[in-house]
Structure formats: structure tokens, C-alpha cells
């Protein structure tokens, strides 16, 4: 896989303003505002910046938090995790391995089988219907 490297100017031409703020400036969208509402339709949630498959609808669950939540990634090698101590909190940030887009955070309060909750920003994802992996 080849890394996607662009300048901020190039990202601003590709992404909508909210997508740029979330993915490139490590922002967080308000809860319950995203356009990726839970549904029964099978599909893949891909990175908005590069199209890399990140999560499957088969791993999505309703967490009640207002953000899309999953108990496992599509492929663990597609996600980079690192410590994030911003805003006075200690958490684990999630980034796309190809384009370094900020996706959200992972917490250890999820359902079985992993016990993890991958809490993502809708602005960082694009839904591709029909594919499940």
C-alpha cells in the first residue's frame, strides 16, 4: 500500500470543510449530527480521504453515544492507534494507515466479542453499500 501524501491546500480541494476539520485537524463532530445513521444495509465504511476500507456494517452496533460505533475494524492493519492526551483526557486515537486521517478513538467499553468500541466521526467515513468484506 502506498501512503497518500497531500498538502493542506490539496486536502481542502478534495474534502468538504467539516471533513477537513475532522480528518486533517483532528477535530470531533458533535454527537448525533453525522449522516451515517445505523441501518440494516450491508456495506463497508471507507476512509473519506483515500477510500481504504476501515469498518464493516457487520461489526457496527448502536452505542447510544451519537457517533458510529464498531466492535472491530475491517482489517486491523488499516488502522493506526496511538495515545492521545489532548483535552485533558487519556485515550487511544485512530488514524487511517494510508492518509493519516483522524477517524476517532477506541475505548474498552464495547460489546462482545472484543469488548472494544471504535467511536468514529461520520465526517471521516464514506459508506460503500453492498460490500461486507
64 burial class (0-12, 13-18, 19+ CB within 10 angstroms)? exposed
So which residues are the catalytic ones? 119
CA angle 77, 16, 57 (to 5 degrees): 40
* Percent of the chain surpassing pLDDT 70: 92
Residue where the block lists cell 485515550: 91
Binding residue numbers: 47, 50, 96, 99
22 in helix, strand or coil?
Answer: helix
Asked if 104 and 124 touch (Cβ cutoff 8 Å), the reply is: yes
Write down the domain spans for the chain.
Answer: 42-133
Predicted confidence at residue 83, as pLDDT, reads 77
Contacts of 91 (CB under 8 A, 6+ apart): 83, 84, 85, 105, 106, 107
Class of domain 42-133: mainly beta
Binding residue numbers for Zn(2+): 47, 50, 96, 99
Asked if 92 and 82 touch (Cβ cutoff 8 Å), the reply is: yes
Alpha-carbon distance 15 to 92, whole Å? 24
pTM score: 0.91
Q: Convert the pLDDT of each residue in 95-115 to its tens digit.
A: 999 999 999 999 999 999 999
Q: Convert the pLDDT of each residue in 8-37 to its tens digit.
A: 999 999 999 999 999 999 999 999 988 776
Amino acid at each position: 500500500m502506498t501512503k497518500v501524501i497531500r498538502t493542506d491546500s490539496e486536502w481542502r480541494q478534495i474534502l468538504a470543510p467539516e471533513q477537513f476539520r475532522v480528518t486533517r485537524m483532528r477535530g470531533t463532530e458533535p454527537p448525533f449530527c453525522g449522516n451515517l445513521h445505523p441501518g440494516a444495509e450491508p456495506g463497508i465504511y471507507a476512509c473519506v480521504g483515500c477510500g481504504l476500507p476501515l469498518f464493516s456494517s457487520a461489526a457496527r452496533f448502536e452505542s447510544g453515544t451519537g457517533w458510529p460505533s464498531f466492535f472491530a475494524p475491517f482489517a486491523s492493519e488499516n488502522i493506526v492507534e496511538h495515545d492521545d492526551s489532548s483535552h485533558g483526557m487519556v485515550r487511544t486515537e485512530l488514524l487511517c494507515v494510508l492518509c493519516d486521517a483522524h477517524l476517532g478513538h477506541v475505548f474498552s467499553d464495547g460489546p462482545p466479542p472484543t469488548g472494544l468500541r471504535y467511536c468514529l466521526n461520520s465526517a471521516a467515513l464514506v459508506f460503500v453499500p453492498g460490500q461486507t468484506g
